[in-house]
């Protein structure tokens, strides 16, 4: 992994919005689709657990799974 510096973080970054099913579980297939869509439209970066602040309510397993999905 190469850490990013301020020279690499520029332009348009998008945040993942967490899709939640009716049973309050995370819909990982929709999250993967959302990630693919953001990449396909050419944003300069994607980050998770940002503006909606849902990370405080995630289990460690959910946090890890979301992070891995984004990293992949």
pLDDT at 9: 80
Number of domains in the chain: 1
Residue 31 predicted with pLDDT over 90: yes
Q: Choose between 34 and 5: higher pLDDT.
A: 34
Asked whether residue 14 is assigned to any structural domain, the reply reads: no
Range of the domain at 23: 19-71
Asked whether residue 4 is assigned to any structural domain, the reply reads: no
Cα gap 8→56, rounded to integer Å: 28
Asked whether residue 40 is assigned to any structural domain, the reply reads: yes
Q: Say how many residues make up the chain.
A: 72
Which residues, at least 6 apart from 38, have a Cβ–Cβ distance to it below 8 Å? 14, 16, 46
57 — pLDDT class (breaks 50, 70, 90): confident
Asked whether residue 5 is assigned to any structural domain, the reply reads: no
Asked whether residue 35 is assigned to any structural domain, the reply reads: yes
pLDDT at 10: 80
Q: Specify the pTM.
A: 0.79
For residues 58 and 27, is the Cβ–Cβ distance under 8 A? no
Asked whether residue 10 is assigned to any structural domain, the reply reads: no
Asked whether residue 9 is assigned to any structural domain, the reply reads: no
């Amino acid at each position: 992994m190469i850490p990013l510096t301020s020279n690499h973080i520029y332009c348009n970054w998008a945040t993942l919005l967490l899709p939640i099913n009716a049973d309050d579980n995370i819909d990982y297939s929709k999250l993967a689709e959302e990630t693919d869509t953001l990449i396909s439209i050419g944003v300069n970066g994607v980050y998770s657990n940002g503006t909606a602040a849902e990370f405080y309510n995630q289990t460690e397993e959910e946090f890890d799974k979301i992070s891995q999905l984004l990293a992949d």
